[in-house]
Amino acid sequence: MEFIWCVFRYDCKIFNLGLNVNNPYRVPLPPLDEQNFRDAKFVKLFIGNDKISNVLDIGIENHLISILKRHFVGIKIDNTSKDIDFDVDKLSGSYDTVFCFEVIEHLFNPLHLLIEIKKVLKDSGYLYLSVPKKKPLFLQGTCHFHEFYKKDLVNLVEWAGFKIIRESIIMERPLWRYFLGIRLFLRLFFERRFYLKLEKIK
């Protein structure tokens, strides 16, 4: 218990959750859920001071986009309203930045989406992509058609005409949460998410 409490204090300090960590027996639940934890971690450690402008976000607005709007005040973010699976609908417009978070693992054909993104991304623009690292089958998300080993992910983005210029692998949950159950504890060893910054292959 003491070890778990130390980890919990560390998570609160790093991500400024604003919790009362002085009394281990009267700690309120974190105001940020696991999705928000991962998103805040991504913004702080990965995007950092990148120049972000004229953004297309693939999919509906999620927690990460809300955090990014607070982090980059005044940026314009468009969201897609098309069905971008099944090789049917196409993207339109021209963008300096494209966000694609929590999307391609849910698609039958992620290559089609990446090719469409390449068409609307300016030559000097960047694609920010997140995907889950492949886990044992019994730990994979039931709504995921794809999870990725590093080599599979590299092959996919290169086939689509992109190259990786920055990458990071981030734990999906606050560390202390992995000690709250057997299944969660197993996830501690396998559950990670790739975050990639991509540019077009010239």
Same domain assignment for residues 45 and 15:
no
Same domain assignment for residues 120 and 44:
yes
Same domain assignment for residues 52 and 146:
yes
Q: Predicted confidence band at 21 (pLDDT cuts at 50, 70, 90)? A: very low
Same domain assignment for residues 74 and 64:
yes
What CATH number corresponds to the domain at position 166? 3.40.50.150
Distance in angstroms (rounded) separating the CA atoms of residues 108 and 105: 8
Same domain assignment for residues 104 and 151:
yes
Residue 196 has pLDDT above 80, yes or no: yes
pLDDT tens-place string over residues 56-79: 998 877 777 777 777 777 778 888
Same domain assignment for residues 13 and 111:
no
Tell the residue number behind the tokens 């994979």, with chain if given: 140
Same domain assignment for residues 26 and 122:
no
pTM comes to 0.76
Tell me what the pLDDT averaged over the chain comes to: 76
Of 16 and 35, the structure prediction assigns the larger pLDDT to 35
- The stretch 190-197 carries a mean pLDDT of 90
pLDDT tens-place string over residues 46-61: 776 788 888 999 887 7
Of 38 and 121, the structure prediction assigns the larger pLDDT to 121
Domain that holds residue 149: 33-200
Same domain assignment for residues 68 and 146:
yes
Same domain assignment for residues 166 and 101:
yes
Residue 186 has pLDDT above 60, yes or no: yes
